[in-house]
Amino acid sequence: MNRRIILHVGSPKCGSTFLQRVMHQNADTLLAHGIRYPAPPEAHPGNAGDLKTIDRDRYEAMFADDVHTVVLSHEDLYSKARTADALVGLAQPEGTEIQVVAFLRPFSDFLFGDYSQLMKQNFDRYLQARRPYDGMTFRDLIDRRVDKLDPARFLSNWQARVKTPPVHVAGHRDIRPVMEGLLGADMDLDWTVERHTTNPSLRMEDCDRIAEAMRRPDVSDETIKQMFIAAFHRTGRPDSGRNGARRRVIEGLFEDQNAAIEARFGYDNRLPPDKL
Domain boundaries, the chain: 4-271
Please give the pLDDT value at position 275. 79
Instruction: Write out pLDDT tens, residues 134-174.
Output: 999 999 999 999 989 999 999 999 999 999 999 999 999 99
Q: Which CATH architecture has domain 4-271?
A: 3-Layer(aba) Sandwich (3.40)
CA distance 189 to 192: 9
pTM confidence score: 0.92
What are residue 144's phi and psi, to 5 degrees? -65, -40
Instruction: Write out pLDDT tens, residues 196-211.
Output: 888 899 999 999 999 9
pLDDT higher than threshold 90 for residue 274: no
pLDDT higher than threshold 80 for residue 1: no
CA distance 84 to 67: 21
Distances (CA, A) of 101 to 72, 129, 179, 184: 10, 40, 9, 15
Please classify residue 14 by burial: count the beta carbons closer than 10 Å to its beta carbon, then call 0-12 exposed, 13-18 middle and 19+ buried: buried
